[in-house]
């Protein structure tokens, strides 16, 4: 995927997400019921302003406001539930592109292997591609179930680390250098973990639970602001949704 300028890519993606949100709302929501409920909320607010010296009216208006707000949230629940699963999938997919940076030359990171059972023998060997140096021997943590190494990028690289156990070799992708690209922080062995770590194939191993490289977190700078990518995506998707909601016949 060629990203070009991250902010331009996020603007385009945000517009697409906003249109998708409007499509879901149009399909799953009840615009007329939402309009009536919002009108009742405003009516209760006006009641509290019109009768400030009437405690009984104020209590009734407050009770009505709470009940109407609960109904409004109920009307929003189905669209929110329908959007939650694809929304989470889109988030995790984009996070690999915009949430983290490849290792810059000279930058160190931690490689960690989480085992399903404590390791009793010698720590596995780590074979790295050209441009990636393994600086320390494996350090055991978590009662021997976790092993960590410090690695360092000496030059741009794109390849696979090999963690070599007796009779089994585990591979983990690694990215170093400049330029936006998708990085995979963790490779997992469970389907549940694969949902949020889908950049690499499922790890098929009876020995290893997951393998992780801690990449540096990234932000996106534009208009004098340096923000997480998700903030920009939310901003652009809200602009698109608010600008096009009338064309879709949607109300929030």
Summarised one tens digit per residue, pLDDT across range 21-44 is 999 999 999 999 999 999 999 999
pLDDT at 50: 87
pLDDT at 1: 42
pLDDT > 90 in the chain, percent? 75
**CB of 128 closer than 8 Å to CB of 151:** yes
pLDDT at 176: 96
pLDDT at 220: 92
User: What are phi and psi for residue 241, nearest 5 degrees?
Assistant: -65, -45
Question: Around Cβ 10, how many Cβ atoms within 10 Å?
Answer: 26
- Which 8-state DSSP code applies to residue 142? G
**CB of 156 closer than 8 Å to CB of 131:** yes
Q: Which tokens go with 78? A: 């189905």
Query: Who contacts 9 (Cβ-Cβ below 8 Å, separation ≥6)?
Result: 3
**4 pLDDT tier (thresholds 50, 70, 90):** low
**74 pLDDT tier (thresholds 50, 70, 90):** very high
Output b/e per residue, 107-145; b: 16+ Cβ within 10 A.
Answer: eebebbbbbeeebeeebbebebeebbebeeebeeeeeee
The stretch 180-198 carries a mean pLDDT of 90
Summarised one tens digit per residue, pLDDT across range 94-115 is 998 899 999 999 999 999 999 9
The CA distance from 234 to 10, in Å, is 9
């Amino acid at each position: 995927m060629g990203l070009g300028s991250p902010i331009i890519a996020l603007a385009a993606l945000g517009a697409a997400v906003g249109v998708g949100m409007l499509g879901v709302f149009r399909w799953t929501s009840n615009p007329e019921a939402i309009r009536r409920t919002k009108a009742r909320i405003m009516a209760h607010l006006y009641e509290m302003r019109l009768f400030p010296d009437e405690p009984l009216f104020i209590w009734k208006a407050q009770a009505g406001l709470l009940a109407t707000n609960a109904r409004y949230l109920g009307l929003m629940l189905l669209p929110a539930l329908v959007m939650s699963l694809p929304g989470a999938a889109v988030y995790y997919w984009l996070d690999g592109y915009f949430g983290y940076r490849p290792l810059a030359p000279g930058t160190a990171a931690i490689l960690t292997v989480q085992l399903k059972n404590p390791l009793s023998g010698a720590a596995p060997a780590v074979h790295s591609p050209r441009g990636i140096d393994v600086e320390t021997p494996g350090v055991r943590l978590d009662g021997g179930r976790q092993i960590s190494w410090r690695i360092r990028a000496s030059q741009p690289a794109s390849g696979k680390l090999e963690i070599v156990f007796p009779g089994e070799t585990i591979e983990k992708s690694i990215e170093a250098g400049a330029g936006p690209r998708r990085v995979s922080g963790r490779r997992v062995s469970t389907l549940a973990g694969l949902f949020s770590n889908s950049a690499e194939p499922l790890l098929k191993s009876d020995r290893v639970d997951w393998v992780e490289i801690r990449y540096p977190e990234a932000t996106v700078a534009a208009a004098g602001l340096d923000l997480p990518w998700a903030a920009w995506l939310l901003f652009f998707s809200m602009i698109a949704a608010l600008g096009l909601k009338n064309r879709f016949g949607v109300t929030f």
